[in-house]
Amino acid sequence: MFDLTGKVALVTGASSGIGRGIAFALASQGAKVSVAARRLDRLEALSAELKGRNHDVLPLKMDVTVRTEVDAAVAKTIETYGHLDILVNNAGALDYSPFLEMTEEKWDLILDTNLKGYFFMAQAAAREMAKRNSGRIINIASVASGGVGIGFPQLVHYCASKGGVVAMTEALAAELGQYNILVNAVGPGGIESEMTRDMDAGSIAGRLSVKRLGKPAEIAAAVVYLASDEASYTTGATLYVDGGWLAQ
């Protein structure tokens, strides 16, 4: 079950946290994995660790907000492995800013990284996937995506970006189905990572059915499922992995 042998995946934001966990999970199920992020030193360390476990991995220095770098990363993956089966859009930015003081620059930074970057990656990957009439795009959203009863002060730009990710996921699923490309999202709750280290973990855990923060591997497990053949009838969905946050 969930065997990804022979599949090729590209994971953005793979240098730490959830992205790193996803890279390990996909590789452990047999996928060849391109790992992309801005911090090449961390990618090289990750690659060395994965190769030490006999996994096939390609580190790619890339900024998702730069279209030419996105196109180059997809092209390098195709050049190296011959095709691309799975894209995991995970690269993200988080910034706390009171709405009345929020600058255009801060708004643009978050939206460009968390939404436009996903668009760049999805389009570049889908163009290649369409040639083979097969593919999976998995977007990392959030419980902070709107429509689920959870709002976060000082994170209006972040919430707007993640709401856009869910909407884009549904629209892409409708449009790309003709190419047998399935598009889904995973919505993490509070997960242990660099991005959440400044949050009040105790306060978050108190809102959950499972009284702790989640671990990157628990998000990665959902991604592996959506990348697998077992999820062949799932598209346009957002799978929330949030310790019961939405149930409270």
The total of other beta-carbon atoms located within 10 Å of residue 160's CB is: 18
Token reading at 192: 């242990």
CA distance 105 to 167: 23
Sort residue 207 into left (φ over 0), alpha (ψ -120 to 50) or beta: alpha
Token reading at 11: 């994971």
Centroid of chain to Cα 11: 7
Q: Which of 129, 121, 157 is nearest to 11 (CA)?
A: 121
Active site residue 96: no
Q: Which of 70, 87, 238 is nearest to 164 (CA)?
A: 238
Residue type, 169: T
How close are the terminal C-alpha atoms of the chain, in Å?
32
Q: Work out whether the CA dihedral 224, 54, 33, 12 comes out positive or negative.
A: positive
Marked catalytic residue, from 81, 118, 158, 240: 158
Active site residues: 158
